[in-house]
């Protein structure tokens, strides 16, 4: 099963997220870790919005829903800290292999949520946004860093010679 997912994982990296990471770095000047943190910020907002209906319930479930809300936010904040620590200096990103089970679980949750989607409620839409942004963050954070663009006279000399 892991080998099957590895092929899908590599395909998503090569065809979707590495080109997207390079484009974001080129057009917006955001490093992959920063882009991943932005996705995780969006996932945090989606998580809060998706948990709002559960927190408005009466009785003992509101305490449990608050614990689930805080646990999810702590997990997303932990991922952001990991992406910041990983830095942009490494050529081969160690998170690509080590975060593979996390990406598999989030993608499985996303597919499962899509199959359960019957009506468009605000909590369901927010849950889909949260899962999509979390998956994107996990992929962008594990991409290889975009090579630095050389500017100045050295870049012009290299371009003229090549």
pLDDT in tens, the chain (162 residues): 788 899 999 999 999 999 999 999 899 998 888 999 999 999 999 999 988 866 555 555 678 888 999 999 999 999 999 888 876 555 678 888 899 999 999 999 999 998 887 777 888 889 999 999 999 999 999 998 766 655 555 544 444 444
CB-based contact 48:69 (threshold 8 Å): yes
Helices 18-28 and 32-55 sit at what angle, rounded to 10 degrees? 110
- Can you list the alpha helix ranges (DSSP code H) found in the chain? 2-12, 18-28, 32-55, 61-86, 95-98, 100-116, 122-141, 153-161
Report the predicted TM-score, pTM, of the whole model to 2 decimal places: 0.80
CB-based contact 127:106 (threshold 8 Å): no
């Amino acid at each position: 099963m892991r080998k099957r997912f590895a092929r899908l994982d590599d395909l998503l990296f090569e065809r979707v997220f590495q080109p997207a990471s390079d484009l974001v770095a080129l057009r917006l000047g955001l490093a992959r870790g920063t882009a991943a943190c932005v996705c995780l910020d969006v996932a945090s907002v989606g998580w809060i919005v998706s948990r709002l209906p559960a927190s408005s319930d009466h009785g003992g479930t509101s305490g449990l829903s608050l614990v689930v809300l805080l646990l999810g936010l702590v997990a997303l904040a932990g991922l952001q800290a990991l992406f910041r620590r990983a830095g942009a200096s490494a050529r081969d990103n160690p998170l690509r292999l080590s975060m593979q089970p996390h990406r598999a679980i989030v993608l499985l949750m996303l597919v499962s949520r899509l199959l359960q989607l019957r009506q468009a409620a605000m909590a369901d839409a927010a849950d889909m946004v949260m899962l999509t942004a979390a998956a994107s963050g996990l992929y962008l954070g594990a991409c290889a860093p975009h090579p630095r663009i050389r500017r100045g006279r050295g870049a012009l000399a290299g371009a003229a010679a090549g």
